[in-house]
Amino acid sequence: MMFARLPRSPRGLARAAACLGACAGLLALAACSSSPPSHFYTLGADAAPAATATASSAASAPLLIEVAPVDVPSQVAKNQLVVQSGTTQVQILEQERWASLPGDEIRRALSTDLTQQLHTIDVFGTAYPEGTPVYRVSVNVQRFESWPGSHALIDAVWSVRAVRTETVMTCRSTISAPVTAGYDALIDGHRQAVQQISTQIAAGIKAMAAAAPRMSTAASAKNASGVPAKMAPATVPCPLPVGPSAAVDDAGMNG
């Protein structure tokens, strides 16, 4: 004898669907809870303990700076940390990430360090008053290497240009900061390297600012016929290295 299968009631179908949905949700929750958490790192300085409001005026600053976006090698221009596992091998760490792209992290850290050292304002992308000297900072990171438990290396070519003149200082800094084990120590090594580079850039800006009056006097000098005299551009060498792990190459300055 054959029996016909009776159709399932709508209430039964709804109950089964709800049960399947609940099971799927529990499985997804279990999968999420078993995945390792992500960690995010930044090159920014430690938060200042003070909570006071201050206001600075660009017109009162002795000079202003413009820190342009920083170029980094394409293989490390990603949110994940890229660490060296050998001279020709790297590892991309999915759970260890930058808070923003490395180029943005370096630019922000440089801007913070320079404004503090020079007591000035970074006016990149904003208007600024006439009459205040402005120095544009450009940085091209050619090597950005992370060796866990060994060292953090930044090899960068940087330049400082006086915006209202043709004076340019171009230098190369190579910083290798020793680090201990752990990714926190690796990030601290990169932070130290950026701080050393910013100190060298600040020294270069100060040297250019000190040479500016001499260059202005030479440019305004006139010979007996009243024609402005052609003077050789002033030479301001790249600043000396800072720290035992730093090296600076003088790529020249021209005006």
Domains and CATH numbers, the chain: 65-220+231-254 (3.40.50.10610)
> According to the model, what pLDDT value does residue 27 have?
46
CA distance 190 to 128: 32
Distance CA(75)–CA(102), nearest Å, equals 11
Mean pLDDT of 124-141: 94
**What pLDDT score does 236 carry?**
75
pLDDT at position 253, please? 47
Phi, psi (degrees; rounded to nearest 5) at 163? -60, -40
Higher pLDDT, 5 or 73: 73
Q: Whole-number mean pLDDT of the chain?
A: 81
Which is higher by pLDDT, 8 or 87? 87
Angle, nearest 10°, between helix axes 183-220 and 102-118? 50
The residue ranking higher by pLDDT, 33 or 194, is 194
The span from the CA of 117 to the CA of 99, in Å, is: 25
Residue 36, pLDDT score:
83
Q: Write the burial class of residue 139 (CB in 10 Å: 0-12 exposed, 13-18 middle, 19+ buried).
A: buried
**What pLDDT is recorded for position 224?**
52
- pTM: predicted TM-score of the whole model, two decimal places: 0.77
pLDDT in tens, 109-118: 999 999 999 9
194-249 pLDDT tens trace: 999 999 999 999 999 998 776 555 555 555 555 555 554 556 788 877 666 667 77
pLDDT band at 152, cuts 50/70/90?
A: very high
What is the band of 26 on the pLDDT scale with cuts at 50, 70, 90?
A: very low
pLDDT recorded at residue 131: 86
C-alpha distance across the termini of the chain, in Å: 105
pLDDT score recorded for residue 167: 87
